[in-house]
Amino acid sequence: MVAMVVDRLIEKAMKRAHGAQASLGWAESTDVSFENDKLKSVKTSQRTGMHVKVIVDGKIGLSHTTDTDDVDGVVERALEAAAFGSPAYFEFPRPSDAPQVAIFDEAVPAVTKEEMVALGEEMMAVVKEYNRDILVGAGAGKSVSRAEFCNSNGTRFTSETTSFGVGVHGQLVRGTDILSAGRSFGWKKREIDHLGVAERTVSLFRMAEKTVPMRSGRYPVIFAPEGMDVLLLALKLGLNGKNVFLGSSPLSDKLGKKIADERFSLTDNPLIDYGGGSGCWDGEGVPHQVTPLVEEGVVKNFLYDLDAAGRAGTKSTGNGVGCGPTNLVVGAGDVSFKEMVKGIREGLIVHRVLGLGQGNPASGLFSVNVHLGYKIEDGEIAGRVKDVMLAGNTYDCLKEVVAVGDKQEWVGGSLLTPPIEVDGLNVVAK
């Protein structure tokens, strides 16, 4: 029945369009959440979506609806929108083979609400066993989705995807001090060490048992995997093919040039089994591919969708729509986290920040509050720091990488990265 709907969408659109693309998706998700030590909600939701993109007289028209019976209406709105649309610098892709990658785990749909409640309770119990005074929240969620895609040039594919994730966080109030810490993990597979997630949360609290002062100055900084977004936000924007074409990326003229220490490498890899951003095709019917972005400090490629690639005179990298990354992978180094810490006389470990994205992230500049960070003294983690800000520039930091961890960790399901040590950053303490 789904195939009949997308076929009808294409057939109707092509009566007036020169090219058309249609997709129909369905998803069901179940989420369990705990708040302040208690079960807050257990809910299941469904969503559907039907998308049509057309090219009429060289212009693009788009339309979307959640009403899957509105075939005539969604097509008509796309055709009407094309009169005011932007120019089409591309043709819809023709059929081609896509790589294989595991994105569906049969164990996920079988997970019951009761099991997810139990997972949350077990994670909370681990944190409570460490400290009963911590107010704990937790969650578990699963989803199953199906989609069918086709276009007027004969590209067609169907996909089924699962996702599963868990998380636990806590808040400890000590007088006027409020400490928040937590850990979560999700991907497309049921297999998750939920107790390990909880134990990691406990370790964050344990390292923060003591609060230590920190003076303003320039210090070596270790970005834990959870804190790597401080360095990667600007890179995501800088490697976006649309920004490159428009000239708003600092990397627009840096292809083939060195922008970082040779220890740093970055790859977009949608072909990791069960990765949060993994898949066989992108949303425009282009097969996914592994794209090296930075190799040993040298810019190798940018990420393109059909539109940006057409404007730039190149090919899509399978990152449509929007030229965004799938799974970002930072290459592992040869230094353990313990060795990094041991080699620092005085410095900072950054786990989480507040305010990232404010200001002008496209240029690489950042000035953020350290929400969860730890001071290093004489090669040991001395305790948690408070009221500390971190300021710098991503592109300067990348040139001052002095160590890359030998162990990669998943963060958020679509970032696989080790910790990275930067030689010196400005730390401002109140």
Which DSSP string do the residues of 186-213 spell out, in sequence order?
A: EESSS---HHHHHHHHHHHHHHTSSB--
Instruction: Give the integer Cα–Cα distance in Å for 289 and 300.
Output: 14
- The pTM for the full model equals 0.96
Q: How far is CA 419 from CA 121, 262, 325, in A?
A: 30, 16, 20
**Res 255 pLDDT > 70:** yes
**409-411/156-174 β-pairing:** unpaired
* Burial category of 38 from C-beta neighbours within 10 Å (exposed 0-12, middle 13-18, buried 19 and up): exposed
Spatial CB neighbours of 76, under 8 Å, sequence gap ≥ 6: none
User: Tokens at residue 270, please?
Assistant: 């949608």
Query: Which tens digit of pLDDT belongs to each residue from 347-374?
Result: 999 999 999 987 788 899 999 999 999 9
Instruction: Give the integer Cα–Cα distance in Å for 226 and 411.
Output: 6
Q: Return mean pLDDT, the chain.
A: 96
Contact between 39 and 145 under an 8 Å Cβ cutoff? The reply is no
User: Tokens at residue 98, please?
Assistant: 């896509």
Spatial CB neighbours of 423, under 8 Å, sequence gap ≥ 6: 220, 400, 401, 402
User: How many alpha carbons fall within 13 Å on the CB side of residue 53?
Assistant: 21
Instruction: Give the integer Cα–Cα distance in Å for 282 and 320.
Output: 6
Instruction: Give the integer Cα–Cα distance in Å for 427 and 430.
Output: 10
**Is residue 258 domain-shared with residue 403, that is, in the same domain?**
yes
**Is residue 157 domain-shared with residue 248, that is, in the same domain?**
no
Helix or strand holding residue 144 (H, E): strand 135-151
**Looking at residue 93, which CATH number applies to its domain?**
3.30.2290.10
**Is residue 202 domain-shared with residue 216, that is, in the same domain?**
no
Q: Among residues 206, 224, 246, which one ends one of the domains?
A: 206
**Of 350, 397, 396, nearest to 376 (Cα)?**
350
- Segment 123-145 shows an average pLDDT of 98
Instruction: Give the integer Cα–Cα distance in Å for 403 and 165.
Output: 31
Instruction: Check residue 375 and give its pLDDT.
Output: 98
Contact between 386 and 177 under an 8 Å Cβ cutoff? The reply is yes
**Is residue 255 domain-shared with residue 369, that is, in the same domain?**
yes
Domain count, the chain: 2
**Is residue 131 domain-shared with residue 37, that is, in the same domain?**
yes
Instruction: Give the integer Cα–Cα distance in Å for 298 and 267.
Output: 12
Instruction: Check residue 342 and give its pLDDT.
Output: 98
**Is residue 198 domain-shared with residue 83, that is, in the same domain?**
yes
**Is residue 282 domain-shared with residue 348, that is, in the same domain?**
yes
Domain range holding 235? 210-430
Helix pair 71-82, 2-13: axis angle to 10 deg:
40
Instruction: Check residue 2 and give its pLDDT.
Output: 45
Instruction: Give the integer Cα–Cα distance in Å for 249 and 351.
Output: 27
**Is residue 366 domain-shared with residue 328, that is, in the same domain?**
yes
pLDDT confidence band for 1 (50 / 70 / 90): very low
Q: Among residues 173, 206, 239, which one ends one of the domains?
A: 206
**Is residue 159 domain-shared with residue 218, that is, in the same domain?**
no
Instruction: Check residue 3 and give its pLDDT.
Output: 53
Instruction: Give the integer Cα–Cα distance in Å for 51 and 75.
Output: 9
**Is residue 224 domain-shared with residue 93, that is, in the same domain?**
no
161 forms beta bridges with: 145
**Res 4 pLDDT > 90:** no
**Is residue 141 domain-shared with residue 252, that is, in the same domain?**
no
**Is residue 145 domain-shared with residue 278, that is, in the same domain?**
no
SS3 state of residue 127: helix
Q: Among residues 162, 189, 206, which one ends one of the domains?
A: 206
Instruction: Give the integer Cα–Cα distance in Å for 266 and 332.
Output: 10
Query: Which tens digit of pLDDT belongs to each residue from 38-96?
Result: 999 999 999 999 999 999 999 999 999 999 999 999 999 999 999 999 999 999 999 99
| Furthest CA-CA distance within the chain | 73
**Of 137, 156, 18, nearest to 88 (Cα)?**
18
Instruction: Give the integer Cα–Cα distance in Å for 421 and 300.
Output: 23
